Amino acid sequence: MATAAHRNPTQSATSRETTATRPTAPVALGLALAVLATLVWSGSFVTSRALGDSVPPVQHAFWRWVVALAAVAPFGARRAWRQRELIRRHLGFVALAALLGVTVYNTLVNQAGVTTPAANMGMIMAASPVLMALYERAGGVRLGVRRVAGLAVACAGVLLLVGGDGASFSAGDLWMIAAACCFGSYSALLRRRPEGLDGAGFLFTTFLVGTVLLLPAQGVSLAVQGGFQPTPGTVWPLLYVGVASSAVAFFAWNKAISLIGPTRAGVVYYLQPVCVALLSWALLAEPTGWAQAGCMALILGGVVLGAGARG
């Protein structure tokens, strides 16, 4: 009896430690997935800029999602079919998510890529985490001092980066502002994803609905602008945005939202202008300098401060 009584406190302490550390794993996974999605999407902005002169924006978006559908179908088509009744009951939610995240968002990004430097595209998209936080706060979620502080520091870095000598705004930036609003709304909407709706099935369904919604615009683009020439310089980038930026990144981002919420994932998303600026400098020879590097360090500091905050 004495031995059993002596063991109980140890067992209780171990149990408490296990319970206390258990939430850390989902948070770490969520942050890692948010970082992965952000890094992959950074490359898609560079791709949009690179294809701006050779592939019409709507056709770029349409073929991106056709490729994404083919990539997701082996994993998501059967699951979507099994959950067809659940999807049918929540068809309004699925259609809105597809419209914001698939049909409109990437078409706006591609349109911006015709006239806007990739670095500017990444900087403007960094406004979307603010919208995510506002949506979450409106939903009654307490953001916490550290998370708000990290959001503010990263946002300050982005504003300084946009206002620096290296940023020159063009008409295409308005398209990117609209894209940022679409992406922020899509990310906030994911919090309301119907319970029980499988991640891969949800992706396949939104990709399918979003591609169908793009069909009329694709027809108009072909009639007015004509098709583009399939070459390695156009096909390989489309495969990248279809497989990596769509299938992989969207799955990672949606899972991250479910694990850590849109606000914390949004803080991680502030890494995007840093990644886009570096990639556009390395691949497209777009200029950067010490002022931009200082702003990027500020953004990184805000991400570290806000992403790890518990409340």
pLDDT, one tens digit per residue, over 64-76 is: 999 999 999 998 9
**How far apart, in Å, are the Cα atoms of 98 and each of 118, 205, 209, 210?**
25, 8, 6, 5
pLDDT tier for residue 183 given thresholds of 50, 70 and 90 = confident
**How far apart, in Å, are the Cα atoms of 154 and each of 127, 143, 228, 273?**
10, 15, 39, 11
Q: What is the pTM of this model?
A: 0.73
**How far apart, in Å, are the Cα atoms of 243 and each of 40, 142, 239, 292?**
10, 36, 6, 31
Question: In terms of residues, how long is the chain?
Answer: 311
- pLDDT value for 224: 93
R_g (Cα) of the chain, nearest Å: 21
- Residue 193: how many other CB atoms lie within 10 Å: 17
For residues 117, 123, 126, 128, the Cα torsion angle rounded to the nearest 10 degrees is -50
**DSSP tag of 23:** T
- pLDDT value for 125: 76
- Average pLDDT score over residue span 33-44: 86
Which is higher by pLDDT, 8 or 122? 122
Give the whole-angstrom CA distance, residue 226 versus residue 236. Answer: 20
Give the whole-angstrom CA distance, residue 310 versus residue 282. Answer: 36
Structure tokens at 112: 């911006």
Sign of CA dihedral 85, 88, 89, 95: positive
Residue among 134, 146, 159, 132 at smallest CA distance from 304: 146
Q: Is the pLDDT of residue 173 over 80?
A: no
**DSSP tag of 284:** S
- Residue 159: how many other CB atoms lie within 10 Å: 15
Burial class (CB in 10 A: 0-12, 13-18, 19+), 74: exposed
